[in-house]
Structure 1
Amino acid sequence: MAFWIIYWLYEISLVFILEPKRLFWTETILMAFLNVSVFYFCTYWALPQHKPKIPIVAFLIKILVLMVCYILIKTLMSYLLIYFGLSGNKTLTTNLTFYIVGSIWRLSYFIFLGTAFWFARMSILSEKRLRIKENEEQSLKNSILNMKLSFLKAQINPHFLFNTLSFLYSKSLDLSNELAKGIITLSEIMRYSLKDVDYDGKSLLSEETKHIKNLILMNNFRFQNQFNFNFRESGVKADHKIVPLILITLIENAMKFGEITDPENPVDISLEVENNQLSFSLTNKKKPADSLINDGHGIGIKYILYKLENYYPDKFSLDIKNEEKRYTLSLKIAL
């Protein structure tokens, strides 16, 4: 508002100094509103509000519409002002060509101001979005670092752990085959979790799928065979590799937030590799909201997106449908 007040004071001062007889307040105020309207129509209607890129054809069409409307409205206003003796500008009745050219020039001036304002506004918004994204990435990095530190603090000597599990496994063989199988499965899960990844930050997809099966088996022991979880895989070859924990995190989310004890609505997971493209789909019935202790699902998805964007830029698609009672996810990665 302050900008427009200063601007119109400047223009009125020029007219008052150069051609004081042409200063008609009614005409000046009406034309000021008309020209300011052009500025705002150009900024908030002709130009996109959420994209920094201008669609040229659509923009030119809107500017043409704006130009026609501006000239028609200004001409009607000028005729009425002249008729009632409220205008000192007789160009409309004496030189129509000069009037139209002058109107287009005036229109172009405010379109230029509106476009310049739009570029400045988009630049500020882009900078703001960039800062927000950088803050989110830094927050996510800090969260991952804290997770790693927590893991390291909680980690005990692996050799002692595996030796203890081996001892428990050998002692349990005579007691219960299921208990022995549970102990050796736990040992394999821990071994995979502590294993270092390759130089490229990836591990074998076959090992990842084996880890998934071990997790499912372990939870089946835990829920006494009431764990309704369907997992299908096909097309996995010995040389296929993937960034670890992406698929595991998705499956752990399904175990945490999905209704896993309903035999009529089992968690359904499919993993397929074809032409070096991994297709992973997951569907589960959601637990009632009041049965969840806390909702950490957003953190898991942010972690997955962070990994995908860093290791598979422009090589993945992630589609999520989070309905009231059902959760569906589809992930495709070019390996």
Structure 2
Amino acid sequence: MDNISIHINIYALIIWLILLLGISYIYRQWRIEKLKTAKLEKVLKDTEDKIQAIQLADIDYKLNPHLFKNVLNAIQSHAYQTYHSLDSLSNVLDYILYESKRKYVSPSQEIDFAASLIEIYKIKLSPFFDLKLKRLINDNEPLLNQKLMAPLISIDLIENAFKHADLQSANSFIAITFEFRNNIFALTVANKVSEKKAFKKENHGYGTNILKQRLEIIYKDNFTFDKFIEDDVHIAHLKIDLLEHKAKMLAAR
């Protein structure tokens, strides 16, 4: 009986050793596969970032000369300039040359830039033209001064309003509203649609397409962008959830 018990214990020990070795092998293989998966995910993430950088660089290359042309055309439309207009021009050019090269700026920087751009475009307008600019901003918002906004994101909506509104009509108007509440950036631009038929160029809608591309690449599903006409008023509305965007940025690191 003692010999039988000894043999049984030996067999049991061997079985346990085999099981432990098997479990150890499976665990090591699992660790190896996990490391491989992590490395692969990092390579894919780096590749995606590089592709996005190339796409955004191409967009920025096309965007900045376009903006320069429109700004200079506004300045050229009048031979005289006030100190205020020149100061706004200086702010706009500084932003285009330096801040626009960054991946992100703060919401407050983007809003200040847009306000300076509007001051330049006002040169075209009659003193009696109905232009409204509102800032509904909570200065205590924690993300207001954090680098989360894609630079020049507000250009297309503002430029389109000045381009398509009938600036000579007595009942025409442009209304631009910036909002920053609950860490959400919102821009609403409304203008009375011109009764004159606009001459459609080959690159008609090019700026809007660029804006959509940038929003989809940078903010993915953390934004909404709508354009529609209601009672002869063209309305464009952009909203970006910067808190959600920041959370996803941190999770991706």
* Interval of TM-score (by shorter of Structure 1 and Structure 2): 0.5 to 0.7
C-alpha distance after superposition, 1:184-229 (max 9, x if no partner): 2222221111114475x11122122122222222222333424432
1-structure distance, mates of 2:128, 2:117: 14
1:143: Cα distance to partner? Answer: 7.0
Q: TM-score under structure 2 normalisation? A: 0.57
Match of 2:135 in 1: 233
C-alpha distance after superposition, 1:28-85 (max 9, x if no partner): xxxxxxxxxxxxxxxxxxxxxxxxxxxxxxxxxxxxxxxxxxxxxxxxxxxxxxxxxx
Structure 1 runs of 4+ off > 6 angstroms? 140-143
2-structure distance, mates of 1:269, 1:277: 17
Match of 2:90 in 1: 187
1:234: Cα distance to partner? Answer: 2.0
**Which residue identity is paired with 2:130?**
N
More strand by share: 2
Match of 1:298 in 2: 205
List alignment gaps of at least 5 residues for structure 2: 1-51, 70-79, 243-253
2-structure distance, mates of 1:288, 1:143: 35
2-structure distance, mates of 1:147, 1:202: 18
Identity of aligned residues (%): 23
Match of 1:144 in 2: 59
Match of 1:283 in 2: 190
Alignment of 1:106-125 (within 5 A): none
More helix by share: 1
1:181: Cα distance to partner? Answer: 2.3
SS of aligned partner of 2:145: coil
Q: Quick one: structure 1 residues 226 and 263, their matched pair in 2 at CA, closer, same or farther if it must change by over 3 Å? A: same
Match of 1:126 in 2: none
**Which residue identity is paired with 1:277?**
I
Larger Rg: 1
1-structure distance, mates of 2:129, 2:153: 22
| Match 1:206 to one of 108, 115, 122 | 108
1:307: Cα distance to partner? Answer: 0.7
Query: Is 1:216–1:229's contact at 8 Å kept on the other side of the alignment?
Result: no
1-structure distance, mates of 2:230, 2:214: 25
C-alpha distance after superposition, 1:285-313 (max 9, x if no partner): 11235354637552111111101111111
Q: How many residues align?
A: 173
RMSD: 3.4
Q: TM-score under structure 1 normalisation? A: 0.44
Of structures 1 and 2, the one scoring higher in RCO (CA 8 A, sep 6+) is 2
2-structure distance, mates of 1:226, 1:266: 10
**Which residue identity is paired with 1:310?**
I
Match of 1:308 in 2: 215
1:144: Cα distance to partner? Answer: 3.0
Query: Is 2:166–2:192's contact at 8 Å kept on the other side of the alignment?
Result: yes
1:333: Cα distance to partner? Answer: 0.7
